[in-house]
Structure 1
Amino acid sequence: MSTIIYAYLIPFIGLIFLIFLIKMNHLFNKEQSRLFIISIVINLILIIATSTDYIISRQTNSSLWMIRRITSFLNFAISPLIPILLIKIFKQKKDTIIFYLPFLINFIICFFSMFIKIIFFIDINNYYERGCLFFIPSFTVLLYILIFIINPVTSHVQEKRMERIIVTSIAVTIIAGLLLEIFYYYHFLSYGFSALGLIIYYILQNINFFSKDSLTGAYNRQMYNYMLDKINNSLNCVIALLDINNFKYINDNYGHDEGDKVLILFVNVINKNIKDIASFYRTGGDEFMLISTKVTEDVLLNALNKSKIELEKYDLSFACGVSEYNKEDNLEEILHMVDKKMYINKNQIKNQEKE
């Protein structure tokens, strides 16, 4: 009994506190918060089921064998729900029946395993045996964890690589615990690691909300100011100011919803071409800044020209001002120069449109 308390006490308390934090936090919408809480509740149920199964397995009273069948069923049948819910939290597209098919197959097989030795079986003497298809629940969990890693972690367009590194680390830890339980009969690892993963994932998404513009996924002005402080007299970089042409006309004539769609499209196109070479910041309504510590001005301009060509398909254009900053320079002067170049470019575009 003390072994269970030591193993699951901190994860259990951590998950309870996480539920209260989610209820107090208004960064996520109701559906996202609901999915977070459901995944936590499932993790708590699995901790209780695993603990109960362990306690009963140590009892000599053979009349408890049916309870062990139920706890084993819960353990194997609903564990894939945790990665499924985490996938759905930030997934914008609706899922097809194919997405849920592995879970449904696993659930049905686990249900019949309470009566026939397929995945597991506990006889009337409370003796546990693995069935010939014991690997299916683990395979199902691994499948959804893999989808969780491969799919975009959030709707944000930047820093996917870092997010995937963090999510992959969480997944690898859970998988390691799962494999140790399967092959070496360790106890109380996978759901403890799963609880830790839920807490880390929730913290990660909170960081995203505080650092990103909620509409476009570009970094917000706060992160832009942080980056300016970081590069000031410390790093060489290229700075660019982008401003969407005729954006006020779009808002006034087609509405702000259409304007929002234009902003999202603009960010997606620009980010596709600069995501590996620069950081993207939304500093105003339709004004954006790029800062790159990786490439030269020519390389960044080439990426922006590719974006201009692509945006022409949507009858969109933007003016830009680009300049290199050396750590010996005055940063305010460089920013003023970038701003001046952008307005010169905007006037050039207006003059071309008049011709």
Structure 2
Amino acid sequence: MYIATYIVDIAALFYLMGLLYSSTNLNMQRKQPFLIAIILTIVMILSESGTIHTNNGSLNLRVTNIFCNVLGFSLAPLIPIAIILIFDRMILKSRKYLLIPTLINIVAAVFSPIFKFIFYVDAHNQYSRGDYFFVFIIVYTINLLILVIITIEVGKKNNYPIIGKMLSLSVFTIIGTSIQIVYPFVYSTWHCVTVALLMYYLLMSEFDSSFDTLTSLFNRAAFDKAIKHIGEAKSFSLIILDINDFKMINDTYGHDYGDVVIKEVAAIIRKSFNKNYTCYRFGGDEFSIISNETEQEKIEYHLRLMTDNLSKMREEGTLLPTVSYGYSIFRGGEKLDFNKILKEADGQMYQYKKIHKGGVRILEVVFLF
């Protein structure tokens, strides 16, 4: 029975490898952690299968049984860590201490055949939990909690709109893997992890396809999707931005420098607005921002901050153009006509451009609604 399910799991994981190899949507930096998680899961499935089929009293298989248990108990807590790396590959460079519980568990697992720490296989090739099996449970629980905490932290830090889905998958993984800890002979862990990895792949592929490849801001498709979820009861603001004289920059300095300008301006836009503002590359040299901020003074503060940051870059010798902008505020409580909001913000932006286009000086204009 278990052989068939394990074969299905492994086949699904190899299929996922193929999807990783051919995927153009998934961020390249996520592919290696995904691959590590897949390989670890395959190894875990094989080791668990090995323990099931060697724990039969046959003395000839005792060494294999011990090896499979050492492998399984050593590597199992690494799965949540591998999933964390899918979200943020650099996390362990700044937080190496997160690996301490896992390393303690590995040492305990390796010495278990001698000292009965986490498990023991007796002279009759019968498996039993060790005197300190709770060490494995604690370490595995810690790593699962770290997965949840890092998921929330990374989601908030990067203003990910899929944080709820990420958390749901983390909880699914925790529940699915915890069942086997409570009921040792219910082999649910690696079926759950296999499903979770497939779902993580689908989720992250959809998410990564929402980003503009040049600027790493959300793209137009993500903008269109976001506005569909704006309800009439929800107040929000919309900001439209456009790079001035961008055609002249392309004609004078070439398209490569034009791309550099777009990247620099996008970085300054992202730097100048806090987490209440979601930034999009609308297309070409246009950007848009959707925010739950409806206080005019706060919106204007961030716009001034953006123009100041652009000015500082020019003062430091970077050849950057000015940026025109306009915004509109929807305060809710009435029927939402998004095209009207967009037209109003767009009109303000073009009015700004008409008055202040050209040159390197930043001229501040505040539009009142």
Range class of TM-score, shorter chain: 0.7 to 0.9
Instruction: After TM superposition, list the pairs within 5 Å mapping 1:1-355 onto structure 2.
Output: 2=1, 4-5=2-3, 7-28=5-26, 32-57=30-55, 59-89=56-86, 90-92=88-90, 95=93, 97-151=96-150, 158-160=158-160, 162-227=161-226, 237-243=236-242, 259=261, 262-263=264-265, 265-272=267-274, 275-276=275-276, 278-284=277-283, 286-292=285-291, 294-296=292-294, 298=296, 301-302=299-300, 304-305=302-303, 307-308=305-306, 311=309, 314-315=312-313, 318-324=323-329, 327-328=336-337, 331=340, 333-334=343-344, 336-343=346-353, 346-347=356-357
Aligned-pair CA distance for 1:27: 3.8
- Higher deviation after alignment, 259-268 or 309-318: 309-318
* Structure 2: gaps (5+ residues): 315-321, 365-369
**Quick one: structure 1 residues 271 and 128, their matched pair in 2 at CA, closer, same or farther if it must change by over 3 Å?**
farther
Q: Distance in 2 between matches of 1:29 and 1:185?
A: 37
Question: Contact 1:157–1:217 at 8 Å: present in 2 too?
Answer: no
Residue 119 to residue 145, structure 1, CA distance change in 2 (3 Å): same
CA contact (8 A) 1:122 1:128 kept: yes
Change in Cα spacing, 1:157 to 1:69, as seen in structure 2 (3 Å) is same
CA distance in 1, matches of 2:328, 2:359: 19
**Number of residue pairs the alignment of both structures matches:** 346
**Residue aligned with 1:151, SS:** helix
Q: Secondary structure at the match of 1:115?
A: helix
Residue 199 of structure 1 and its aligned partner are, at CA, apart by 1.1
CA distance 1:351–1:117, shift in 2 (3 Å): closer
Q: Deviations over 1:260-299 (max 9, x none)?
A: 7634532432442xx33x432112455311234x443626
**Structure 1 regions of 5+ residues with no counterpart?**
none
Instruction: Give 1:72 shift.
Output: 0.9
> What's the TM-score once normalised by structure 2's chain length?
0.76
Structure 1 pair 321–86 and aligned structure 2 pair: CA distance change class (3 A):
same
Aligned in 2, Cα 1:211/1:225: closer, same or farther, shift over 3 Å?
same
1:73 maps to amino acid: V
Task: Give the C-alpha shift of residue 120 in structure 1.
Answer: 0.8
Instruction: Judge which range, 322-331 or 191-200, deviates more.
Output: 322-331
Q: What SS is found at the alignment partner of 2:162? A: helix
- The 1-side partners of 2:217 and 2:27 are apart by 19
Aligned partner of residue 126 in structure 1, secondary structure: coil
One-letter amino acid matched to 1:190? T
Amino acid in structure 1 at the alignment position of 2:271: V
The residue identity in structure 1 corresponding to 2:344 is: I
Identity of aligned pairs, percent?
23
Which range moved further: 99-108 or 320-329?
A: 320-329
Q: Structure 2: how far apart are the matches of 1:175 and 1:329? A: 41
Which sits farther off after the overlay, 78-87 or 339-348?
Answer: 339-348
Which deviations, in whole Å up to 9, do the C-alpha atoms of 1:123-153 show, x marking residues without a partner? 1112222223212233333333333333368
State the AA in 2 paired with 1:188.
Y
Find the aligned partners of 2:218 and 2:28 in 1 and give their Cα distance. Answer: 24
Bigger drift between 83-92 and 47-56 goes to: 83-92
Give the conservation status (yes or no) of the 8 Å contact 1:36–1:86: yes
Query: 1:308: Cα distance to partner?
Result: 3.8
TM-score between both structures, scaled by the size of structure 1: 0.78
